[in-house]
Amino acid sequence: MRLPVADGPTVRAYALGLLRAHRSALTRIAVLHGLAATAGLAGPWLLGRVVDGITHGTTGGFIDQMVAVGLVAVLTQAGLTRYATRASIVFGEQVFARLREEFVETVTTLPLSTVERAGTGDLVARTTNDVNRLQHAVRFGVPRVIVAVVSIILTVVASVLVSPLVALALFVGVPGMVTVVRWYLRRATPAYVREAAAYATLNGTITESVEGARTVDALSLGARRHRRVRSDLHEAFRAERATLNLRTVLFPGVDLAFVLAPAAVLLWGGWLASDGRVSLGAVTSIVLYGYQMAGPVWELIFWVDEIQVAMTALARIVGVQLVAPDRTAGTDRPVDERIA
């Protein structure tokens, strides 16, 4: 018998419930990171104005003003990022603390009959491997995803405001990126579920062999247990290899997609500028926005992979809550102290 694994809708409902319980903290994080990202957008815009100023003729005073404004923007971004990062870390710790408390409470109230039938390996894997995988995503992944999404949205908005025509080139890699990510997501969940199950089986085999070492020795079962461990190791290796193959498609595909954007902006914007439809400053700003957006996009895709691992771990952790009690309290009460 294995402990149950929660299905997708159950996991999503549980995760959304956790986030709703910390709605105010999420809002504060989004606002702080949004302000920090907005301050960070000033640099490319100011450089574009400098390019236009030099192209059409300007004064040293104008350049000095742009440098001063850029310095203020950098300092503002640094200060806002500091407070936003602190709020993100506190949020991650609070969410994980609640999740851990609920999980420990559930584990300690599991029916003994269920634990004995399921074996120690599956439960040990859920309380160690799965919790460790989940804590990394909750403490760092969720805040970083919020930062990346806010940064991408604001960068796209800023690019469109500078020049909608040039900004079109930023989306040249989106179809390829969406195709690769959709391909990955369709295959990731089953692959990571298999990986988690393989490690649970391996943990169970090793734990049982260690706890029953005297029995194994007395009955000369060492060779059999050794073969079992090797078989479980091979299955864990195959499961790891399957998830690795998915990542070898996801990461290069995304790399290619977002490398195209700045190059496309440069070529498309250069042609528009040579035709007099846009200014060189606008092209410069949007090229820099394209490079600036590469960081958040890459981080978002990286955490898509990590969150797939975490969601698999969460499905196994939430699955423990789905274990039905093996008995229910009745209304019968003893008549006296005698045992008939």
Could you report the per-residue pLDDT of 6-46, keeping only the tens digit for each?
887 888 888 888 888 888 888 888 888 888 888 888 888 88
For residue 271, the one-letter residue type is W
Per-residue model confidence as pLDDT tens digits over 193-222: 888 888 878 887 888 788 788 888 888 888
Mean pLDDT of 54-63: 75
Residue 4 phi, psi (nearest 5): -70, 160
Average pLDDT, the chain: 83
Segments in the chain forming alpha helices (H): 8-21, 23-40, 42-56, 60-108, 112-118, 120-125, 131-136, 142-162, 164-167, 174-211, 213-218, 222-274, 280-320
Summary count for the chain: helices (H), strands (E)? 13, 0
Domains detected in the chain: 8-191+243-320 (1.20.1560.10)
Q: List Cα–Cα distances, 9 to 2, 13, 21, 137, in angstroms.
A: 20, 6, 18, 19
d(CA 192, CA 243): 7
Q: Is the pLDDT of residue 112 over 80?
A: no
* Category of 324 on φ-ψ map: left (φ > 0), alpha (ψ -120 to 50) or beta: beta
Contact 250, 301 (CB under 8 A): yes
Contact 92, 29 (CB under 8 A): no
Contact 124, 204 (CB under 8 A): yes
Q: What's the pLDDT at 118?
A: 67
